[in-house]
Amino acid sequence: MNSISIEFINASKVYKLPHGGGNFEALKPLNLSIYKGECFGLLGHNGAGKTTILSLLAGINSPTTGDVIVEGLSVTKNTSDTKRMLGVVQQELIADTFFNLPTMLSIQSKLSGFKPDKEWISFLLEKLLLKDHANKTTRELSGGMKRRMMIARALVHKPRILVLDEPTAGVDIQLRKTMWEFIADLHKEGMTIILTTHYLQEAEDFCNRIAIVKNGEIVTLKENRDLLALGGNHKISCIIEVSNVYYWMQKNSDYLSKNSIIVEPIKNVSHSTGNLKISKSYIHGSMSSFLESVDMIHKASQQMEFRVSDIFTESPGLEDVFVKINNGDIRV
């Protein structure tokens, strides 16, 4: 059994709205354990409550009820101790100083109660590809550079837990890749990571468990692979061109449904002509099921008189699962 790093115990957050606007429950009472060395992802639409969860953990907001325990210590009672255990990258870009990067990181280190470690600072700047910008003041950095600088700042005191609230927002694809390689290295070395992101592929690639947050509560919490399995079947598909879609569908609908072949329109389909996608599902990991489905597509092409020019496989992604859960198409 893994040991627990972070524990939310009945932690909720109710905001008082201004001008007598009443109360708003941004987070319903949450009970959640995050394990040591885990990479835990929080996904959800804008306003779902992800940042609220992280802000209670980081001691930025205090919970209305309950508490958060970090490595055995209460965030509400030992805020400065728990803060030292965490490296927090907030969503807002806060980098409006006249200091250059090494100076700012040294100051941050002292503020966190640690003697600045020049080698570590230099290592962080190198890993986050900031070395060439070390002499710029933080306010002279671009948005993507500021984002990376915030990661360096969060790590400067060598925390055990890294909290990332949309760490890659505004970072270009190439740099995002570099950032994740670095974060993956920290994770491999045993750091516990909790993150939010709107790039679902990032969560799919890096998280061990993923929680989906909706209207202030976690509606789904699963191991990455179990969540992906909710996305539907693996499919073999091909694109066909049909000269009269309406007539073709009428003629073949019985055969299609009898053989569980799915047909989907591909853009610009009119009554008269269009491209359609034909798919047949198969059991992931079973070669016989895969070959059976290939054979079925082949037979369908003879029966329904279309030519198979391109055949490809499709796997369900986190995107599919996320949409389905948020639309209420699957309940878990």
DSSP secondary structure, 261-279, as one string: -EEEE-SS--SS-EEEEEE
**What number of chain residues touch ligand ATP (CB under 6 A)?**
12
For residue 251, give the H/E element and its range. Answer: helix 245-258
What phi, psi does 234 have (nearest 5°)? Answer: -80, 145
For residue 108, give the H/E element and its range. Answer: helix 101-111
Binding of residue 24 to ligand ATP (CB under 6 A): yes
Strand 274-282 with 234-242, pairing: antiparallel
Site for ligand ATP in 140-199 (CB under 6 A): none
Q: How far is it, in rounded angstroms, from Cα 198 to Cα 69?
A: 26
Q: Which is nearer to ligand ATP, 192 or 197 (CB)?
A: 197
Shortest gap between Cβ of 304 and ligand ATP (angstroms)? 45
Shortest gap between Cβ of 92 and ligand ATP (angstroms)? 10
User: In the numeric block, which tokens belong to residue 276?
Assistant: 């359609």
Shortest gap between Cβ of 246 and ligand ATP (angstroms)? 43
Q: Which is nearer to ligand ATP, 44 or 274 (CB)?
A: 44
Angle at 242 between CA 283 and CA 244, to 5 degrees: 130
Q: Which is nearer to ligand ATP, 14 or 262 (CB)?
A: 14
Q: Which of 6, 26, 191, 297 binds ligand ATP (CB under 6 A)?
A: 26
Q: Which is nearer to ligand ATP, 50 or 280 (CB)?
A: 50
Mask for 39-78, x = binds ligand ATP (CB under 6 A): -----x-xxxxxxx--------------------------
User: In the numeric block, which tokens belong to residue 11?
Assistant: 């932690």
Short-list 22, 79, 21, 38, CA closest to 55: 79
Mask for 76-115, x = binds ligand ATP (CB under 6 A): ---------------x------------------------
Shortest gap between Cβ of 16 and ligand ATP (angstroms)? 8
Shortest gap between Cβ of 197 and ligand ATP (angstroms)? 9
Shortest gap between Cβ of 215 and ligand ATP (angstroms)? 9
Q: Which of 9, 15, 107, 178 binds ligand ATP (CB under 6 A)?
A: 15
Place of tokens 């984002």: 147
Shortest gap between Cβ of 181 and ligand ATP (angstroms)? 25
Q: Which is nearer to ligand ATP, 24 or 255 (CB)?
A: 24
Residues whose CB is less than 8 angstroms from the CB of residue 261 and which lie 6 or more positions away in sequence, other chains included: 255, 278, 279, 280, 296, 297, 300
Instruction: Give the CA diameter of the chain.
Output: 77
Beta-bridge mates of residue 162: 87, 193
Residues of the shown chain interacting with ligand ATP in the complex, contacts defined by CB under 6 A: 15, 24, 26, 44, 46-52, 91
